Amino acid sequence: MTMKTVFQKTKGLTDKPTHYCPGCTHGVIHRLVGEVLEEMDILEDTIGVASVGCSVLSYEYFNCDMTQAAHGRAPAVATGVKRVRPDRFVFTYQGDGDLASIGISEIIHAAARGEKITVIFVNNAIYGMTGGQMAPTTLIGQKTATTPFGRNENIQGSPIRVSEMLSTLDGTAYIERVSTHDVPNILKAKKAIRKAFETQKKGLGFSMVEVLSTCPTNWGLDPQESLEWVRENMVPVYPLGVYKNKEGGN
């Protein structure tokens, strides 16, 4: 009996097992990026920039050339790569601590310059790698290791809505916020990532997909509860949708 292949892992990822916690959606997002690179047939023309945080080892999982940046500096590193090799696809893969806290300056200026790079911004409202501390995207009232009584607007300020903020900059060409809390949204996320790389291909400017993601370990929830938590708590604060689409259309 001959077996028919009905599903295959994308060529966009290596065979290395990831180190991500059970229920974390980093793996899903990696796969989406890998699939898009494969489907667009640009895997061999892509240079990825890994950041610091849970996804620090992403360079071991993406099956393309990768360079690893200092904490928060991935957009600057990507700028250097893209400016020397404008013929290549360049993306960064950054978490919320990396992009929205220590690297907020780099991301704003890369966006303002209209760097023709694609940013995959994974927002799970917490620092994962270091053990569950407050991120700039932590929700009001959310308990973390450094907000044991819940994030208090008067003490720690309010969460940063990165997609909204960056979409005000003229250099940005495509910005969309998506989520991974159920299958329809995961499919939408993939379309957004594809759109972002298409934007880069057309040389329209800076593109970013903000992906709402889970952190069961540091949220203290099981995987299923975590997905619910994204839908119930994060989506209202971080509304999904397209924030910038210079080109128009879908």
Partner 1 sequence: MGKVLMKGNEVIAESAVHAGCKYFFGYPITPQSELVAYMARRLPEVGGLFLQAESEIAAINMVYGASSTGARVMTSSSSPGFSLKQEGISYLVGSELPAVICNIVRGGPGLGNIQPAQSDYFQVTKGGGHGDYHIPVLAPASLQEIVELIQDAFDIADRYRNPVIIMGDGMLGQMMEPVEFTERPVSELPEKNWAATGTRGDGGPKIITSLELDADGLEKRNQHLQKKFAEMKEKEVRYETYKTEDADYIIVAFGTVARIAMNAMNKARQDGVKVGLIRPISLWPFPEKPFIETRDKVNMYISVEMSAGQMVEDVRLAVNGHAPVDFFGRNGGVVPTQEEIYHKIMMIAGGIQV
Binding residues for partner 1, per CB under 8 A?
Answer: 14, 43-47, 49-50, 56-57, 59-60, 62-70, 73, 76-85, 88, 105-106, 108-109
Shortest Å distance, C-beta 41 to partner 1: 10
Of 9 and 85, the one with the shorter C-beta distance to partner 1 is: 85
Of 15 and 155, the one with the shorter C-beta distance to partner 1 is: 15
Of 14 and 156, the one with the shorter C-beta distance to partner 1 is: 14
d(C-alpha 45, C-alpha 146), whole Å: 41
| CB contact at 8 A, 189 and 211 | yes
| CB contact at 8 A, 149 and 143 | yes
Shortest Å distance, C-beta 30 to partner 1: 14
d(C-alpha 79, C-alpha 91), whole Å: 10
d(C-alpha 64, C-alpha 89), whole Å: 11
Of 47 and 160, the one with the shorter C-beta distance to partner 1 is: 47
Return the SS3 of 133.
strand
Of 58 and 144, the one with the shorter C-beta distance to partner 1 is: 58
| CB contact at 8 A, 201 and 39 | no
d(C-alpha 48, C-alpha 63), whole Å: 9
Shortest Å distance, C-beta 206 to partner 1: 14
Residue carrying the six token digits 């704003």:
108
Shortest Å distance, C-beta 180 to partner 1: 25
d(C-alpha 152, C-alpha 158), whole Å: 8
d(C-alpha 150, C-alpha 95), whole Å: 21
Of 185 and 207, the one with the shorter C-beta distance to partner 1 is: 207
Shortest Å distance, C-beta 26 to partner 1: 17
Of 55 and 218, the one with the shorter C-beta distance to partner 1 is: 55
Structure tokens belonging to residue 217: 């370990």
d(C-alpha 43, C-alpha 54), whole Å: 23
Return the SS3 of 117.
coil
Shortest Å distance, C-beta 69 to partner 1: 6
Shortest Å distance, C-beta 76 to partner 1: 4
